[in-house]
Structure formats: C-alpha cells, structure tokens
Chains A and B, each alone.
Chain A
C-alpha cells in the first residue's frame, strides 16, 4: 500500500509526522470567506457608545418623517424600513386620545388599548390584503409605510387639542373638521404614493380603499374626541 500511495502522493513520507499535544492547532478551514469582514462590522457597532447608536436611529427615523411630509416617489421608506417611527406615532396618538372622559362612569372616549389595537391590526389587515391581491411589497415594509403615514393625523390631533383649549363651539368644530380632513387626505395620498407602486396597475383601487377606510376611522376618532370638563 505504501508503494502505491508513494507514486500518487508525493508527500507520503510526511504522513507519519505527529503533532505534540502542547502545540495548539487552531483555525477554521470550513469558514466561508465572508466571515472575517462580517465580524468586523459587528465589532464596530458593538463598541460605539450607546448615544451614537440612538442618535443614528433617531436620525433615520427623522429622515423618514421628512419623506412622509413631502411624499415624492422615493424609495427610502421601503428600502430601510423600521418600526420605531410607527411605534412612536402610535403611542403618541393613543396617549393624546386617552385624555378624553377619564371619568369612570362614562366610557365614551377610546381607551389606549383600543387605539393601539386598531392601528396595528388595521395595518396588519391592510398588509395581508395587499399581499393577497398580488403585491410585491414585503410584510414589514408595508407596516412601516402605514405607520409612518399616520404622522399627519398625529399632527392634526395636536392641533385639535390646542383648538379645544379655546372652547368646543361650532367654530372650533369647523376648524377641527378642516384640519382633520386635510390631514386624512394627506395621509391617504402619502401612503398610496408608496404602496400603490407595488401593485399591478389595474388593482390600485382595491388596495387604496382599505387604506382610505383605515385613515378615515382614525380621523373620525380624532374628530370626535372631546376632553373631559
């Protein structure tokens, strides 16, 4: 066997060299070549101070807010989606809507949980609907877009609360109606600018209608909000 091996393996004489126990043999032979570079990235963001990480995320969220305010045909919201912005907006809106009728006997205003559940389950249902209709957008991208487009309605809520400080007569109702309608239209337009592109062209109306209904319900909750006396 040695002769046969010797002809085919030129280093056959080295095969019976043994390694002593105290020389460590290390190394990863089967590691893919991209390993070291990925590890470098991980180390670099792990070592930075927490403030840098938080600021970087906040800047990304703020950048997306700007994209919602001026809904051009940009892909920034879709490309790097995140759910921090929607969470922030949802919690803010639910807290602002919470203040009405905190009296325990009257349960007329929406609870925090109600608003939260409406926003998130509504977004999930719209996303499922758009996926079932043949959309190319992914689940979390769609949640991200719908959540960020609640921003005009949150701004409207703040304005409504300010207006309600001055009284709740028909004049304030008219002002609030105008503000809420404008922001509802803005939200719907902004979200369709992002969502409708991912649908086949003849089915855009089928996707836009649930979005319209969703923002209509939220706008309705904002409009009918009345603080406790």
Chain B
C-alpha cells in the first residue's frame, strides 16, 4: 500500500492527473527532471511507452531485461537518444509554454481542439519514430562485429604466413587470433578461384547458378566445418571458442587458395598430389598442433584432430577433382589404351571416387605410353 501511494505522489509531482484537464484550459508548467523516463509534453499523458509498471511491447521488454545481451553499445545509444529527445522536448515545451500560456483561454474551445489534434498527431509521430529507431538500433547494430575487424595489414600478412608454419610446442595452449577479416577475405578469394576453375572446366550446373554453387560451397565449408569442430571441441572439452575455430579454419583456407590457384591453371596430376600433401599438409599440421595444445587426453585429441585433418584434406581433393579440366593432350594419348573415355555430362552429384580413379588410370596410362 505504501509503495502505491508513493508512486501516486511521483505522478503528481511530474504530471497533472488527466481528470483535471477537462476543466482547465491551460497546461501546467512541467518540471523535467533527468531521472524520470517521461518524455511527453501532454497534460493527458501522451503515448508514453515506458510506464512505471514496465509492461509494453516485446522490443521494449528486451531493453528492460536485467541481462541485456552484453553489448553496452545498445545502452549507450539508448541513453544518448533519450537525452537528446528530452532536450528537444523540453525546448519545445518552453516554446509552447510562452506562446500558449495566455492564449488558451483567449481562443476558447475551437482553438483548443485544433491545437489538441495537432499535438496528438505530433505525439504519435514522435512515438512511432522512437519505436522504429529503437528497433533499428537494437537489431541492425553492426558495432557488435567491430572488434573482430580491428586489424592492421601487417598483422594479416603475418597471420597468413603463420598459417603455414606448424608450431613445435604443444604443452601450453597456443594463441589463436580472434579476427574475422582475414578468414572472410580468404573465403571470398576461394570463391573467385573456384569460379575460375568452374569456368575453365566448363562445368554445367543444372539446377542453380555457378556463382551460387561456388559461394555455397565455400561458405558452407567454412561455417559448417567450424561449427562441427566447435561441437567436437565441446564434446571432448577442448579449450577453444567458436570465434577461434572460425578464425583458424579461415586461415587454413590460405593453403587451399594457393594450391587451387596453381593447379587450376597447370594441369599436372603429380604437381597436384605433391602440392596437396605439402601445402595442404602444412596447413593441416598447423591447425592440428593448435588443437592438440588445447586438448587433454589421447582419445579426445585423436577424435578432434583426426576429423579436422580428414575434412580439410578431403575438401581440397574434392575442389580439385570436381572442377577439373581435362587436358586434351592426355586424352589423345589414351586413344589406344583400353580405358573408358571421360564423358562430359551435366553434373548433378559429383562422383568423387570415380573421378579420382579415372584420373589415376589416365596418368598411369600416360606413363606407360611414354615408356
């Protein structure tokens, strides 16, 4: 009971009660204190979207939660906006106060109705604008990602080179850079290289587009395998966060980019196999070493490192063979050999094993022929 009385008192100090206004024709002077959340000029209360009880729409409820999602940017933006609005509103209140102070009685009933209508419309507009900007600031706030893009070009370059150098010590957890700029640029570069490979191999995509397939493959690998590794890390109790797996795997794609860039242009199988083992192996070893340093126990280490290594190496193999350009010279030399010719068919599902087997048979055939 006492608390409800106190809240009524609070109301009376800052806002006259609505039932008085039907007899009064003059708005009472308002005291805008900084501590309250009332931002209206209306004697009848206006569209106040933050009543004392705290009930309201979902967007506003989220703000009133105690554990706001962690980012202080939203709170700062909100406070700043409110302070700005309070300034504007108090300036307006003073302006209207001076001019309508004595005219309220002078104009009679018609003057009040016109003014009231205009002020209602104004309030509706202000309330709507406030709601929209609050929702926008809450959901479309890219400042959440800003700390992950805070890098210098020198750092990116050194991290690219480091991604090919496996670390020697696995006794203490290795540092993993938590940035997203390098991985994103590498994924887009891989998309561009893949596009080039698909074009030169004259791949025909039935349902879908070339660009869509390339983007889907690369982003799908990066995001999907990162999530999978994070899930495994959660299972085997490995000390690595999602951001770090995204970053680690993203930088591991640097090796893929280099290998594919070379082998989509120079089609020589031994070159590809050598580069696959060397470059792919180095980047895999680097990622495996980082994971080893952050995991305890033999079986957990085997599980997580084994799956990451397998996925990484197999992805490179897939990218090479699925979009592989057949060199005309090798086909010509195989005319005498009893091997089925590779037919160019519309590709619905890439047959990895058959493609790899065909390629190996062809190279063996070429070797035999040359001897």
Interface residues of A (CB under 8 A from B): 15, 17-19, 21, 24-26, 28-30, 106-108, 110-111, 113-114, 117-118, 128-129, 131-134, 202-203, 205-206, 209-210, 213, 216-217, 220, 224
Contact of B210 among A15, A110, A128, A129 (CB under 8 A): A110
Contacts of A220 in B (CB 8 A): 192, 195-196, 199
Nearest opposing residue in chain B for A131, CB measure: B142
Interface size class of B (residues with CB under 8 A): 35 or more
Contacts of B204 in A (CB 8 A): 106-108
**Given contact pairs A30-B100, A131-B142, A19 touches B211 in the complex (Cβ within 8 A):** no
Q: Tell me, yes or no, whether B105 is within 8 Å of chain A by CB.
A: yes
Contacts of B205 in A (CB 8 A): 107
A29-B103 in contact (CB<8A): yes
**Given contact pairs A29-B100, A129-B149, A206-B156, A213 touches B107 in the complex (Cβ within 8 A):** no
5 more contacts with CB within 8 A, not counting A30-B92, A205-B153, A217-B195, are A25-B114, A29-B96, A114-B212, A206-B153, A217-B192
12 contacts between A and B (CB under 8 A): A15-B105, A15-B106, A25-B107, A29-B99, A29-B115, A108-B202, A111-B209, A114-B209, A128-B142, A133-B181, A203-B153, A213-B189
Contact of B118 among A28, A128, A202 (CB under 8 A): A28
A19-B149 in contact (CB<8A): no
A19-B107 in contact (CB<8A): yes
Contacts of B196 in A (CB 8 A): 220
Contacts of B110 in A (CB 8 A): 19, 21, 24-25
Docked pose: A155 CA to B211 CA in angstroms: 23
A25-B195 in contact (CB<8A): no
Nearest opposing residue in chain A for B148, CB measure: A132
Q: Tell me, yes or no, whether B125 is within 8 Å of chain A by CB.
A: no
Q: Tell me, yes or no, whether B168 is within 8 Å of chain A by CB.
A: no
Chain B residues numbered 175-223 whose CB sits less than 8 Å from any CB in chain A = 181, 184-185, 188-189, 192, 195-196, 199, 202, 204-206, 209-212
Q: Tell me, yes or no, whether B83 is within 8 Å of chain A by CB.
A: no
Q: Tell me, yes or no, whether B95 is within 8 Å of chain A by CB.
A: yes
Q: Tell me, yes or no, whether B274 is within 8 Å of chain A by CB.
A: no
Measured between C-beta atoms, what is the minimum distance from B88 to chain A in Å?
Answer: 11
Q: Tell me, yes or no, whether B152 is within 8 Å of chain A by CB.
A: yes
Q: Tell me, yes or no, whether B108 is within 8 Å of chain A by CB.
A: yes
Measured between C-beta atoms, what is the minimum distance from A87 to chain B in Å?
Answer: 20
Contact of A224 among B99, B106, B199, B211 (CB under 8 A): B199
Q: Tell me, yes or no, whether B111 is within 8 Å of chain A by CB.
A: yes
Q: Tell me, yes or no, whether B151 is within 8 Å of chain A by CB.
A: yes
Nearest opposing residue in chain B for A223, CB measure: B199
Contacts of A30 in B (CB 8 A): 92, 95-96, 99-100, 115, 118-119
B145-A132 in contact (CB<8A): yes
Docked pose: A134 CA to B146 CA in angstroms: 8
Docked pose: A216 CA to B111 CA in angstroms: 66
Nearest opposing residue in chain A for B203, CB measure: A108
Nearest opposing residue in chain A for B119, CB measure: A30
A114-B210 in contact (CB<8A): yes
B192-A210 in contact (CB<8A): no
Measured between C-beta atoms, what is the minimum distance from B140 to chain A in Å?
Answer: 10
Contacts of A18 in B (CB 8 A): 108
Docked pose: A29 CA to B97 CA in angstroms: 11
Q: 5 closest pairs, A vs B, by CB?
A: A132-B149, A205-B153, A114-B209, A29-B99, A19-B108
Contact of B181 among A15, A118, A131, A206 (CB under 8 A): A206
Contact with A along B116-142 (1 / 0, CB 8 A): 001100000000000000000000001
Contact of B111 among A25, A133, A134, A203 (CB under 8 A): A25
Nearest opposing residue in chain A for B92, CB measure: A30
Docked pose: A206 CA to B100 CA in angstroms: 58
Docked pose: A209 CA to B185 CA in angstroms: 8
Contacts of A108 in B (CB 8 A): 202, 204
**Given contact pairs A110-B211, A131-B142, A210 touches B99 in the complex (Cβ within 8 A):** no
Docked pose: A106 CA to B344 CA in angstroms: 12
B142-A132 in contact (CB<8A): yes
A114-B206 in contact (CB<8A): no
Docked pose: A213 CA to B105 CA in angstroms: 70
Contacts of B202 in A (CB 8 A): 108
Contacts of A26 in B (CB 8 A): 114
Measured between C-beta atoms, what is the minimum distance from B150 to chain A in Å?
Answer: 8
Contacts of A134 in B (CB 8 A): 150
Contacts of B153 in A (CB 8 A): 202-203, 205-206
Chain B residues numbered 147-178 whose CB sits less than 8 Å from any CB in chain A = 149-153, 156
